[in-house]
């Protein structure tokens, strides 16, 4: 296994530790819309402390006598944290909310809406994170790194939590995709396992792009994303698109392999195909589970919004707003060069 490369490899990190206490990692969703005040779906604005996403859903379902599938969320939030987010459920359970009793959960607001909350129904997440036990002169080092990330962005890797403890979620998904294991029809973890494989392949494509000095280069055949709208298009005029990417109007994307993924062309397509082939997979492997692995594109770079570092009680305080699907821990690894590091894990359990 190897460490995935940094954007700021030439700058020393601040070291330190995160998530010593749940309050060291504060997350607040920025919703895509507000509940309308009418409809058959009950929206709860909740605060959870030191609770995993899965445990929260199981407890709510059991306490309200509904299926976990009836509960909608816009995204999975960290366990070792204090997080605020919207969740939805059938309006019919409203009278039973008072019977809920879970340490670490507070219902801050209720409202109604016309549709169930679904994954991706958010604009982003706002973070305030404390890094404890940092190195000497940590604030100065953090400010230098933060300035680089504001100007040029950071690699949009999937965080290590995506792959499970010691990569076990990744390896499980790889065994399913290669036909070594037949998935259980009702295995609720299957989507996460298959997604871990897609995420690993994305990270590997991004790693090779950085290793080859192409992180900030636009290549003919690249699939670009318009940052404001999310629209995708294939590069034809390299010079024009390089200018737009440099100003942050667009960003180069990498593959989340699947039958519906927008394909790159030319040299870029060949580079992505090499990563897939060397993993022992083909697009046809993902077609077997096309409802779970449709395929998509993901930005290679993220330019963080409102990134600020300051000295606070017990360490460095980092404030930042990130788009959906981006990992604060990946940004933190640039600052820390330590605890929140990322290894390029292998999906093959025999390696």
Q: Tell me which residues are annotated as active site.
A: 78
Place of tokens 């939805």: 88
Beta bridge partners of 105: 48
CA dihedral 324, 14, 308, 300 (to 10 degrees): -30
List 225's β-bridge partners, or say none.
Answer: 232, 251
Q: Tell me how far apart the alpha carbons of residues 192 and 265 are, in angstroms, rounded to a whole number.
A: 29
**CA–CA separation, 349 and 339 (whole Å):** 24
Q: Taking the C-alpha atoms of 230, 33, 155 and 316 in order, what is their torsion angle to the nearest 10 degrees?
A: 160
Residue 215: alpha-carbon gap to chain centroid = 19
Task: Give yes or no for a contact between 172 and 341, defined as CB atoms under 8 angstroms apart.
Answer: no
Helix/strand/coil for 207: helix
d(CA 334, CA 27): 19
Find how far residue 224's CA is from the centre of its chain: 19
342 CB contacts (<8 Å, ≥6 apart)? 3, 4, 157, 159, 160, 203, 330, 333
- Residue 202 three-state SS: helix
Name every residue whose Cβ is closer than 8 Å to that of residue 97 and which is 6 or more positions away in sequence: 44, 64, 107, 110
Residue 17 DSSP one-character state: B
Q: CB of 284 within 8 A of CB of 267?
A: no
Instruction: Give the C-alpha separation, 196 to 91, whole Å.
Output: 33
| Contacting residues for 121 by C-beta, under 8 A, at least 6 apart | 31, 32, 33, 74
């Amino acid at each position: 296994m190897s460490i995935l490369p940094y954007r700021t490899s030439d700058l020393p990190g601040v070291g330190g530790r995160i998530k010593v206490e749940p309050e060291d990692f504060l997350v607040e969703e920025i919703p895509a819309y507000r509940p309308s005040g009418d409809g058959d779906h009950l929206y709860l604005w909740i605060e959870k402390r030191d609770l995993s996403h899965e445990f929260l859903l199981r407890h709510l379902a059991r306490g309200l006598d509904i299926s976990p599938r009836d509960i909608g969320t816009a995204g999975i939030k960290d366990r070792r944290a204090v997080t605020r987010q919207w969740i939805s459920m059938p309006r019919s359970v409203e009278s039973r909310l008072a019977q809920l009793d879970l340490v670490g959960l507070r219902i801050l607001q209720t409202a109604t809406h016309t549709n169930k909350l679904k994954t991706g129904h958010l604009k982003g997440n706002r973070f305030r994170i404390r890094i404890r036990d940092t190195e000497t002169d940590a604030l100065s080092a953090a400010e230098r790194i933060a300035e680089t990330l504001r100007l040029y962005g950071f690699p949009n890797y999937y965080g290590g939590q995506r792959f499970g403890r010691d990569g076990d979620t990744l390896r499980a998904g790889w065994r399913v995709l290669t036909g070594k294991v037949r998935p259980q029809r009702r295995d609720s973890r299957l989507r996460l396992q298959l997604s871990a494989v897609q995420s690993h392949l994305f990270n590997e494509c991004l790693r090779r792009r950085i290793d080859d000095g192409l992180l900030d280069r636009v290549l003919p055949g690249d699939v670009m994303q318009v940052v404001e709208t999310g629209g995708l298009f294939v590069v034809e005029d390299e010079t024009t698109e390089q200018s737009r990417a440099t100003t942050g109007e667009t960003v180069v994307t990498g593959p989340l392999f699947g039958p519906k993924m927008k394909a790159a062309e030319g040299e870029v397509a060949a580079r992505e195909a090499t990563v897939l082939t060397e993993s022992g997979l083909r697009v046809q492997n993902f077609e077997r589970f096309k409802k779970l692995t449709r395929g998509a594109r993901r930005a290679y770079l993220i330019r963080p919004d409102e990134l600020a570092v300051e000295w606070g009680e017990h360490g460095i305080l980092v404030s930042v707003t990130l788009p959906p699907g981006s990992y604060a821990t990946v940004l933190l690894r640039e600052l820390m060069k330590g605890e929140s590091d990322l290894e390029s894990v292998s999906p093959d359990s025999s390696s």
